[in-house]
């Protein structure tokens, strides 16, 4: 498998992904209040492995500042009509298993935004990088997230235990894999385009 060059994510990150209803772009310090407001909900934190709860403005500032120095993560702020509604990202902390992650503010659940944002990030991943597969996970107690992954073509590969910061313990996670071949066969998705800034 091709290793991601250190400059690869930085070169890919100054882009904007657009879908029918959403814009995905790099978060900035101007977004930290909105990120903190959205992320500071236990229902979100309990279903994401790395979000602490409570989630403060200081957490959001550290997160956005930290993105500038991370070569293993590509993160997009999800916006609807210029209003932040969540985050989606690609993480290469395990070189052989790049992973998709996402969360939406509670007020934006159940409207198809998660699927739409995930599809845009997935398209970007397979169009910009040479990896043969993308991985993802959803807490077993989170059927909505599992549905998003299945609608995006991910195939279930098993269950593993993962640590969740907000829970302070481990929880079972359904693990999924999307191969380049399956993604390619599903390319009739609504188009998501990438434009350089």
Signed CA dihedral, 70, 149, 77, 141: sign only: negative
Question: Under 8 Å CB-to-CB from 105, ≥6 apart: which residues?
Answer: 37, 38, 39, 41, 44, 84, 85, 86
The highest-level CATH class for domain 6-196 is alpha beta
* pTM of the complete model: 0.87
Note the pLDDT of residue 126: 96
**Range scoring the smallest mean pLDDT among 10-14, 65-69, 91-95, 172-176:** 10-14
**Range scoring the smallest mean pLDDT among 7-16, 34-43, 64-73, 99-108:** 7-16
Longest dimension (CA), the chain: 43
pLDDT in tens, 153-197: 999 999 999 999 988 899 999 999 999 999 999 985 545 555 555
Q: Which helix (H) or strand (E) holds 124?
A: helix 113-128
Beta strands in 19-154 (DSSP E): 23-25, 73-80, 83-91, 99-104, 133-139
CA angle 73, 100, 75 (to 5 degrees): 35
- Token pair of 150 as six digits: 């299945």
Q: Which helix (H) or strand (E) holds 176?
A: strand 169-179
With H, G, I as helix, E, B as strand and everything else as coil, classify residue 197: coil
Q: Where are the domains of the chain?
A: 6-196
User: Residue 33: what are its φ and ψ, rounded to 5°?
Assistant: -65, -45
- Token pair of 138 as six digits: 């959803």
pLDDT in tens, 13-59: 568 999 999 999 999 999 999 999 999 999 999 999 999 999 999 99
């Amino acid at each position: 498998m091709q290793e991601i060059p250190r400059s690869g994510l930085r070169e890919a990150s100054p882009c904007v992904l657009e879908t029918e209803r959403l814009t995905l772009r790099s978060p900035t310090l101007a977004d930290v209040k909105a990120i903190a407001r959205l992320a500071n909900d236990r229902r979100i934190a309990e279903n994401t492995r790395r979000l602490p709860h409570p989630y403060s403005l200081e957490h959001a500032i550290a997160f956005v500042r930290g993105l500038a120095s991370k070569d293993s993560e590509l993160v997009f702020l999800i916006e609807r009509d210029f209003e932040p509604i969540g985050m989606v990202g690609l993480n290469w902390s395990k070189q052989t298993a790049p992973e998709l992650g996402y969360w939406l503010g509670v007020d934006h659940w159940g409207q198809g935004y998660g699927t739409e944002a995930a599809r845009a990030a997935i398209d970007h991943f397979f169009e910009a990088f040479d990896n043969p597969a993308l991985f993802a996970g959803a807490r077993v107690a989170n059927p909505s997230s599992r549905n998003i992954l299945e609608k995006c073509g991910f195939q279930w590969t098993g269950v593993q235990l993962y640590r969740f910061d907000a829970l302070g313990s481990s929880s079972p996670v359904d693990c999924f894999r999307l191969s380049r071949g399956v993604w390619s066969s599903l390319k009739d998705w609504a188009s998501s385009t990438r434009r350089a800034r």
